[in-house]
Structure 1
Amino acid sequence: MQTAMVLTVTLNPALDRTMIVPGFREGAIYRAQEVYYTPGGKGINVSRILHQLGTSSLVFALAAGHIGLLLLDLLRREGLALDFMFLEHGETRINTTILDPESGIETKINELGPWVDQNAVEGVVKRLATLLRPGLWVVLSGSLPPGAPEDLYARLIECIHERNGAVALDTSGPPLALGLEARPRLIKPNRVEAEGILGRAIQNVRDGGIAAWQFARKWGCQVLLSLDQDGAVWTDGCEIWWARVPRVQIRQSVGAGDALLGAFLHFSLQGFPPPKALRFAAALATAVTISGEIARFRADDLESVLAQTSVEPL
């Protein structure tokens, strides 16, 4: 395999189970119309998108038990380059999405994941240090496993900086707040995550642009803010661009935000200027929601959505 241009880190991966249940309501008994099992975790989804676009990446993941072994096997079948670190105890989690195709409403039930102790944390730091090199983009994304310190991403960002790498951070809550203090190159919050840090609602695109600009100015990073069907905003604290995407029939949205980040990195590494990379990334993320698969897109969907996607300054 060629040398990876991106290293994705998923410390709390999952086996994603998507169940299609027409008319789903709580408190009743249903038969699922369709069920899909997909290796999941935000970093894994980013690598899946990069693989489809032709950018090489390496998946680093922390896994455990029989579900962890199944996850490893399924990812090998996808052709992804892998570096798994297995815990001695516990089981990799299963995350369940119940989608009602009649209403378009998704219900998500996420497990916590296996517990990690201090020895496992130190093992992660040491293993990652061996994978780093100057110029490598490292994507730190998703939740931390139970037992991991909330400043673990901040610690990893400092380690990556010491080796002249670039960091994209996509997480939430305290790990995001603490990670911001370590100055990642790029962050990819969604609307809810940004609201949690700023302490106020983002009600429209203009609010999103202001929020992204404030993040960029305060923490000196690029910001790629996803706004669901309102598209996405990118800023470096100077320019602010908004990608307007068409309204589509969403089959499922798991992995759309990861697709946005993966595609933006891919097109940026190809030398595209930020507005153009943003347009392609927002269109591809929208195409993922049409596909019905996690972090996958069809070329004809992308072509159709791209023709209806525009970018404009805010």
Structure 2
Amino acid sequence: MNQHVIVTLTLNPSLDRTIEVDRLVHGTVIRATSARLDPGGKGVNVSRALLANDVPTVAVVTAGGADGDQLVHLLEADGIPLGAVRVAGRTRSNITVVEPDGVVTKLNEPGEPLSREELDAVADRVLAEMGSASWVVTCGSVPPGVPTGIYARMCEFFTAAGVRVAVDTSGPALLAAVEARPFLIKPNREELAEAVGRPVDSVGDVVEAAEELRDRGAGTVLASLGADGAVLVEEEGVTIGEAPVAVPRSTVGAGDALLAGFLAAGARGAPALAEGLAWGAAAVGLPASRMPRPEDIRRDIVRIHTRPDLGRSLIA
């Protein structure tokens, strides 16, 4: 393996079918204007974005049933170096409906449980890929029946092996992982508010919530805020930025592209935040859950502020 490989781990990957419609009307028959099937899951998307920009990566995923076979086929067809762990449960499918104004409606299946033996096999597969890894990125929802502390235990395990760990999950799994002192977490606005148990309505609220999670154990907090951009809170200080998108196509996977760009650029400071924002904005301008390639990325639209306006309200 090449040096500085970024290994992603997705415990609950999916087949993502994205359907574009002129208008979504409840209780009616609607003809799609286009449809696309992509391999899905946060870690999968991070690896897809990295590979599209020639950053070495390996995607470790669970795969079960015929849908799992198709997931593996799609990943292999994309040329993504893959560590697939066969499991008994069926890989889930998700449906995303996108309207012309960029409004997205998602229907996500919960996934199926993983046994202790299957979880051990996943951890072993990550370890096998870690010889030249610079990061392990643990991403996405926890399948039903899997302990909420699974990412925390994996964070401790992989950190002890000498690799930086990034965590992108939500709810109790995020709070548990924070206690395991990951190098980086990437919550969105809703996940950040849930983690601290109060609304996050301004840039100052984001910074305060991020600092609280850093006090609990997280090293760096990269908070993605949709159209409001992102806030980076790290030991060196606070940086915020935006990358306006003139014609949004789909927000699916945009936060994953943001994380991928941030990691690819060194995961520290304004330059990494700017790169992440450029990748995330490029993803918003693409249909379905396509990940941006170099020709899609516009760094000139990124605005970075090292002296943030903490009183600025976030878009409702």
Q: TM-score by structure 2 length?
A: 0.92
Matched, 1:284 2:279: yes
**In the aligned structure 2, how far is the partner of 1:201 from the partner of 1:193?**
10
Matched residue SS, 2:265: helix
Give 1:27 deviation, angstroms.
1.2
CA shift digits 1:25-65 (9 cap, x unpaired): 21111111111000011001001111122210111001101
Aligned to 1:208: 206
Structure 1 pair 134/163, CA: closer, same or farther in 2 (3 Å)?
A: farther
**In the aligned structure 2, how far is the partner of 1:215 from the partner of 1:92?**
32
Aligned to 1:187: 185
- State the aligned residue count: 307
**In the aligned structure 1, how far is the partner of 2:156 from the partner of 2:66?**
33
Aligned to 1:123: 121
Aligned to 2:300: 307
CA shift digits 1:253-305 (9 cap, x unpaired): 11100001110000117xxx5101101211210111101141412545422xx
Alignment of 1:1-314 (within 5 A): 2-3=2-3, 5-87=5-87, 89-101=88-100, 103-133=101-131, 136-268=134-266, 274-303=269-298, 306-313=299-306, 314=308
**In the aligned structure 2, how far is the partner of 1:265 from the partner of 1:71?**
25
Matched residue SS, 1:26: coil
**In the aligned structure 2, how far is the partner of 1:261 from the partner of 1:274?**
13
**In the aligned structure 1, how far is the partner of 2:20 from the partner of 2:43?**
24
Matched residue SS, 1:127: helix
CA shift digits 1:225-257 (9 cap, x unpaired): 000000001111441000122243211111100
The one-letter code sitting in structure 2 at the alignment partner of 1:92 is T
**In the aligned structure 2, how far is the partner of 1:58 from the partner of 1:299?**
20
**In the aligned structure 2, how far is the partner of 1:250 from the partner of 1:224?**
22
Name the structure where helix makes up a greater proportion of residues. 1
Q: Is the 8 A contact 2:4 2:132 kept in 1?
A: no
Matched residue SS, 1:147: coil
The runs of 5 or more residues in structure 1 that have no matched partner are none
Larger relative contact order (C-alpha < 8 A, sep ≥ 6)? 2
Q: Is the 8 A contact 1:260 1:282 kept in 2?
A: yes
CA shift digits 1:56-80 (9 cap, x unpaired): 0111001101111111111111111
**In the aligned structure 1, how far is the partner of 2:172 from the partner of 2:159?**
21
Give 1:132 deviation, angstroms.
3.0
Structure 1 pair 5/134, CA: closer, same or farther in 2 (3 Å)?
A: closer
Q: Is the 8 A contact 1:129 1:159 kept in 2?
A: no
Structure 1 pair 218/237, CA: closer, same or farther in 2 (3 Å)?
A: farther
**In the aligned structure 1, how far is the partner of 2:281 from the partner of 2:72?**
28
Out of 282-291 and 215-224, give the one that drifted further.
Answer: 215-224
**In the aligned structure 2, how far is the partner of 1:4 from the partner of 1:16?**
29
CA shift digits 1:68-119 (9 cap, x unpaired): 11111111111110010011x3321111001111x43211000111221222
Out of 173-182 and 2-11, give the one that drifted further.
Answer: 2-11
Give 1:3 deviation, angstroms.
4.8
The runs of 5 or more residues in structure 2 that have no matched partner are 309-316
Cα RMSD, aligned residues only: 1.7
Q: TM-score by structure 1 length?
A: 0.92
Structure 1 pair 277/295, CA: closer, same or farther in 2 (3 Å)?
A: farther
Determine what percentage of the aligned residue pairs are the same residue.
36
The one-letter code sitting in structure 2 at the alignment partner of 1:82 is L
